[in-house]
Amino acid sequence: MTHNSSKLKVLHTSDWHLGRSLYERKRYTEFSQFLGWLTEFVMARKIDILLIAGDIFDTTTPGNRAQELYYQFLTKVSQSGLRHIVITGGNHDSPSFLNAPKELLRFLNVYVIGSITESPQDEVIVLRDKSQAIEAIICAVPYLRDKDIRTVEAGEKLEDKNSKLMAGISAHYALTGELAVSERNGNDTIPIIGMGHLFAAGGKTTEGDGVRELYVGGAALVDEKSFPECFDYLALGHLHSAQKVGGSETKRYCGSPIPMSFGEAGPEKKVLVIEFDDRTPQITEYPIPCFQELKRVTGDAPALLLKLQELKKSGSNAWLEIDYTGSEVFAGLSELVLDAISGTGMEVLRTRTRFSNGKSLTQIDDKETLDNLDPGDVFTRCLDAHQLKEPDRTLLRLAYNEIIMGMGENDRNAE
């Protein structure tokens, strides 16, 4: 390796969602345990560069404990031998909140790009080793908001909006790629790494993960061809399951570090380590320990009892979601479940009832509140309640999505 005598080690993580709750249950213990584990991992594996690809926080106004975890982690890990940290904003993050301490964080070798910059050159970060030789160039592209990359015209059709979005995203990445190549100054052994926070075509989500389409129309616009060929690796955030873009080995989502819903529980969570020998990346997946077990227990009353007994015998301390699918109303379900887990470390966070007699219930069960529902689910129930048909249903949903996305892109911390 001409610019570094040893292999360059890059760690890819994203979607921490610090401050997120699960059915009103705070999860700061899990977040703290993950960040502690990550600090030790970085030290043990002698990581050189840490990439965090968006959604560091769960809301644009994170609470004090979430902020404390974030800054404590950055302070500790920057003193661990890690040379560089690059952080980009996600759709859940407040750009101005992330950007506010960026000049101060530079003293810790932390680079923050909270939102699209006035000059694309500012998103191209040249990282140097201890001898001041360039060891990598990062195209630190944050979540690109609709208003950042598309001009609105009166009377344009949905297809026009989608094509403009695709063109805007592709053009932005192409420009950052060109700028990165020029920074090499002819040394084509230097790796170029892209970052992004978006919903790639073919991406997979899981039930209840809170991941949504990012642009009006619901089309997953960005495919593998949208990114420049000069990217030796592309570190993406937004989707909570680790996956490849279009089957590419070098364009990846690492996924969230802890399951954000019961639907996410089960598959192992991961961080990705990319080792560069010149520009050739070797990618290794490393499992993240499970800090709090989540279990969805499904069935009729006898099946539920059997599964709970098995969990009890195993010594489980899981948080539980009880999904009753019996054919009859069972008034004593909650008491039955609580008796079954008495004396254990298990805790029921949610109980819901669904009947297997072919009928669908429109009412919300007694354990479900508006706080636990995705706004899109509530709107769908409203459409169902009014028995709206196509094409009115589609038009209303598009208008609704445009309003919600506009609200989500307002930065409350900006003056």
CA 190/CA 195 separation, integer angstroms: 16
Same domain, 321 and 270: no
3-state secondary structure of 169: helix
List the chain pLDDT tens, one digit each, 415 residues: 444 447 899 999 999 999 999 998 999 999 999 999 999 999 999 999 999 999 999 999 999 999 999 999 999 999 888 999 999 999 999 999 999 999 999 999 999 999 999 999 999 999 999 889 999 999 999 999 888 887 666 667 767 777 788 888 999 999 999 999 999 988 999 999 999 999 887 777 776 655 655 554 444 467 888 899 999 999 999 999 999 998 899 999 999 999 999 988 888 999 999 999 889 999 999 999 999 999 999 999 899 999 999 999 999 999 999 998 887 777 778 888 999 999 999 999 998 876 544 444 444 444 455 545 566 667 777 777 776 777 767 767 767 766 665 655 666 665 5
Same domain, 163 and 283: yes
Same domain, 118 and 227: yes
CATH number of domain containing 395: 3.30.160.720
3-state secondary structure of 378: helix
Same domain, 271 and 326: no
Residue 348 lies in a domain: yes
Same domain, 208 and 310: no
Same domain, 389 and 264: no
pLDDT attached to residue 5: 47
Predicted confidence (pLDDT) per residue in 255-269, tens digit: 999 999 998 888 899
Closest CA relative to residue 52, chosen from 6, 17, 28, 20: 17
Same domain, 354 and 279: no
Same domain, 304 and 173: no
Which contacts qualify for 67-70: CB closer than 8 Å, 24 or more apart?
A: 69/18, 69/28, 69/31, 69/32, 69/35, 70/18
Same domain, 272 and 298: no
**Domain boundary at 268, 287, 306, which?**
287
> Which one-letter DSSP state was computed for residue 334?
H
CATH number of domain containing 96: 3.60.21.10
Q: What are phi and psi of 318, to 5 degrees?
A: -70, 150
Predicted confidence (pLDDT) per residue in 114-150, tens digit: 999 999 999 999 999 988 999 999 999 999 988 888 7
Residues whose CB falls within 8 Å of the CB of residue 102, separated by 6 or more in sequence, listed in order: 110, 111, 112, 114
Residue 413 lies in a domain: no
Residue 1 lies in a domain: no
Residue 415 lies in a domain: no
Same domain, 220 and 306: no
Same domain, 214 and 191: yes
Residue 147 lies in a domain: yes
Predicted confidence (pLDDT) per residue in 27-50, tens digit: 999 999 999 999 999 999 999 999
Strands 192-197 and 134-140, by their bridges, are parallel
CA 381/CA 362 separation, integer angstroms: 7
Give the residue numbers spanning the domain of 312.
294-408
Residue 345 tokens read as 């470390």
Residue 72 lies in a domain: yes
Same domain, 105 and 177: yes
What is the total count of domains within the chain? Answer: 2
Residue 2 lies in a domain: no
Predicted confidence (pLDDT) per residue in 226-247, tens digit: 899 999 999 999 999 999 998 8
Find the Cα–Cα–Cα–Cα dihedral 236, 237, 238, 241, rounded to 10°: 90
